[in-house]
Structure 1
Amino acid sequence: MPGRPTRPLLDGHASGYHVLRIEDYSRIKSTVPNGELVESRRSRTCFIDQVEDQKPSYVRTVEPNNFVSHGSWGRGKFVRRAELEQSGRLKDDCFTVRCDIVVIGKPRAMDTAAAPSILVPPPDWPQHFRALMLSERGADVRFCVGGQKFAAHRCVLSARSPVFNAQLFGAMREGTTTQDCIQIDDMMPQVFKTLLHFLYTDALPETDGKDDEAASAAMAQDLLEAADRYDMQRLKMICEDRLCRHIDVSTVATTLALAEQHRCQGLKEACYEFLKSPKTLDAVMATDGFQHLVKSCPSALFELMSKLCCP
């Protein structure tokens, strides 16, 4: 017979009940001596007309045992046959019981839904390290880039870049005193400044929105070269992602050459995808960038041809 479905309680438990009608009592009483009830975790069983009274003789709250023969959990004793037959509850060789089931959750001090919560702010170490970079307090190494000087902290650079670690503390050690200035060639001062910002904060500096797309793409290209030079893989991937968004007819050839030179497979695949249209490829082949690609990176051109011939 139907019952009430299991529902959650305020303390994290759940409860429900089933109404069971047992028929042909005279036939089955010899096979079930005392009546076996299968329980889920904890049950309370009573006759249907005793729900409100809950007399101790008929209402039991028990911990589960295992019935080996049934392969399930439950208790076997509910009421003796003699008590049942004398109770007057047998009608037409049938009786009805109600089994209330409580599934008990794990003990806890309080309901987590009602627990107070504290809004934890995001990590603030990037702001502190940026302030350290700008103040130059404790700086013990200096770099000269394009006529400009930059102060930094050896321990920070060493922790963030394997190449800086080798230059400052390893076999490539340079600038062992604070008076020394390490010369960096083939890099613009703004690029090195941006590189330092990432070394200290793990993020690129915010822009004022005035840079056009061409300038943004050019900076991403220069930063990618610097990231590869100092083995900063996360910065390298950030630059790849930015360059993927700036691929067009005028930039795709130079971007593909850059990706080939610095082993940027994801960026290469983005360029190949852009060039798979014959119409687009014709337009790109008319650019100066394509001529640069042919001369500087013939391997990338051969790979492109292979992909176009065998899509």
Structure 2
Amino acid sequence: MLSTASSCTTEKLTVSRCFTHKEKGAHIFEIAGYSLKKGMGVGKFVRSATFTVGGYDWSIRFYPEGTPESPERCVVICLELMSSNAEVRTFFEFGFVKQDSGLISTAFTPQTKAFSSKASDTRQFRLRIVRRSIEAEPTKYLQNDVLMIKAVITVMKESQVSETVGRPEIEVPPSDILEHLAKLLGAKEKADVTFSVGGETFQAHKTVLAMRSPVFDAELFGPMRETCVTVQDMQPAVFKALLHFIYTDSLPDLDDLEGDDRCEMHRHLLVAADRYAMDRLKLICQNILGKNLDVENVATTLALADQHNCDKLKDVCIEFIASSDKMDDVVATQGYANLKRSCPSVLVDAFEKRSRSCKA
């Protein structure tokens, strides 16, 4: 039975959007009898009717003699927010209307401003204009002694976020590449290399083997370019399991093996993985063997780990021996006797760790 090691997944995408509404309006304040407004006094003004743009009330002021803060010989025009307890962000153009074109004087640059009715300096915008610039060319701004002030206001509404919605998705099935590779393993007519293992033959594909193992790569695509390979010192069942992993990235079912036989198969697979430099398979076998340690097999597994440079499994075995309350039972096993004879330095590590644990 094929178990898929990985699958193709797609992200579920949702979308929300931030958008800002705006509302634009304009108002013209006509000052009839402009010349008659002279002499009103500094700080005195005339005001337009209140007009509404974007849900807010506004007005235009005109100071014929300027304000106490403005230089002499200046007039002042003012855009004022009239709504109470209001704060609003705007983009606006503001100035005198040219008689010839009906446009606002280009002398006044469009402005972006946040108005607030909470303070006098934030509820108004003022422009100071030299009086001579108006009166020197009466035909430009004055007609029949009428001066027109125009405000074009764009009010920015609060930004809003639309409801999160999911975009339609096309369901993508899981990756089936491993199923195709498993079928390729059984496609003998497409094989290009034959292995002889313990009297049995196995057919495979050079490219797949070379892709998975640098050792197979050197064997099959090196100077000798083998097409018939004899594998020594390996059981047919182990080589078959090795091929299964190469093509499917998973271990075959070992339901027909029980207990020690299954552990023995994993030991042989670990040796095969080390032989063919297949690090992932080697780690998988280490993990399985480390989870199935007992008094009878820990010494044998430790010797195997030391022989094949399995440092992670070696640490697990030493930890098991050092923390075991059945040390005498471990010493009594044949595996321990073999370990003592072949790898005495490993036992030194185990006893030193046990000694440190006891002192702690």
Tell me if both proteins adopt one fold, taking TM over 0.5 as the criterion.
Answer: yes
Task: Identify if the C-alpha distance between structure 1 residues 219 and 82 changes in structure 2 by more than 3 Å, giving closer, same or farther.
Answer: closer
| Alignment partner of 1:124 is 2:124 | no
Contact 1:191 1:222 in 2 (8 A): yes
- Runs of at least 5 residues in structure 2 that lack an aligned partner in the other structure: 1-14, 21-51, 60-80, 82-86, 92-111, 125-155
* Change in CA separation of 1:116 and 1:269 when aligned onto 2, cut-off 3 Å: same
State the AA in 2 paired with 1:237.
L
Q: Does 1:203 align with 2:250?
A: yes
Which amino acid is the alignment partner of residue 200 of structure 1? Y
Query: Structure 1: which amino acid aligns with 2:179?
Result: Q
Report Cα offsets for 1:108-144 as digits up to 9, x if no partner. xx97642123333222111101101101232111000
Q: 1:310 to 1:102 in 2, by over 3 A?
A: same
Partner Cα separation in structure 2 for residue 75 and residue 152 of structure 1: 76
Q: Deviations over 1:177-205 (max 9, x none)?
A: 5xxx2111110001000101111111112
Please name the residue that 2:186 is paired with: 134
Match of 1:248 among 294, 312, 321: 294
After TM superposition, give the deviation of residue 211 of structure 1 in Å: 2.6
Distance 1:169 1:112, change over 3 A: farther
Take 2:256 and 2:294, find their aligned partners in 1: how far apart are those partners? 21
Separation of aligned partners in 2, 1:124 and 1:163: 27
8 Å Cα contact 2:16-2:165 kept in structure 1? no
Partner of 2:159: 102
Q: Secondary structure of the residue that 1:276 maps to in structure 2?
A: helix
Q: Does 1:155 align with 2:201?
A: no
Task: Tell me the amino acid that sits aligned with residue 137 of structure 1.
Answer: E
Match of residue 26 from structure 2: none
If the length of structure 1 is used for normalisation, what is the TM-score?
Answer: 0.66
Partner amino acid, structure 1, of 2:218: A
**Deviations 1:139-177, CA, capped at 9 Å, x for gaps:** 111000010000111111111101111111125x352x5
| Deviation per residue, 1:211-270 (Å, 9 max, x gap) | 312222111100000000000000000000110111001110000000000111111111
What is the CA distance between 1:303 and its match in structure 2? 1.6
Change (3 A) 1:82 1:164: closer
Runs of 5+ in structure 1 lacking a partner? 1-9, 16-49, 64-73, 86-98, 105-109
Structure-1 residue corresponding to 2:330:
284
AA matched with 2:328: D
Q: Distance between the aligned counterparts of 1:228 and 1:199, measured in 2?
A: 14
Equivalent of 2:319 in 273, 280, 292: 273
Query: How many equivalent pairs are there?
Result: 234
Contact 2:88/2:114 (8 A) holds in 1: no
Larger radius of gyration: 2
Q: Distance in 2 between matches of 1:195 and 1:82?
A: 82
Contact 1:146/1:185 (<8 A) preserved: yes
- Aligned to 2:229, which of 182, 186, 207? 182
Contact 2:193–2:206 at 8 Å: present in 1 too?
A: yes
Asked if structure 1 preserves the Cα contact closer than 8 Å seen for 2:16 and 2:164, the reply is: no
CA contact (8 A) 2:179 2:248 kept: yes
The alpha-carbon distance between structure 1 residues 56 and 120, as it changes in their structure 2 partners (threshold 3 A), is farther
Q: Is the 8 A contact 1:142 1:182 kept in 2?
A: yes
Structure 1 match to 2:69: none
Q: Deviations over 1:63-113 (max 9, x none)?
A: 8xxxxxxxxxx944446959979xxxxxxxxxxxxx985376xxxxx9764
Distance 2:349 2:279 in 1: 24
State percent identity of aligned pairs. 40
Is the contact between residue 255 and residue 271 of structure 1 (CA under 8 Å) also seen in structure 2? yes
The CA RMSD over aligned residues, in Å, is: 3.3
Report the alpha carbon displacement of residue 210 of structure 1 after superposing the two structures with TM.
4.1
CA distance, structure 1, for counterparts of residue 206 and residue 301 of structure 2: 33
Identify which of structures 1 and 2 has the higher relative contact order when contacts are C-alpha pairs closer than 8 Å and 6+ apart.
2
Q: Do residues 302 (structure 1) and 359 (structure 2) align?
A: no
Q: Cα–Cα, structure 1 residues 55 and 185, in superposed 2: closer, same or farther, change >3 Å?
A: same
- Give the alignment partner of residue 235 of structure 1, picking from 281, 285, 305: 281
Between Structure 1 and Structure 2, the one with more strand by share is: 2
- What residue number does 1:46 align with? none
Partner of 1:21: none
> Partners of 2:114 and 2:326 in 1: how far apart?
80
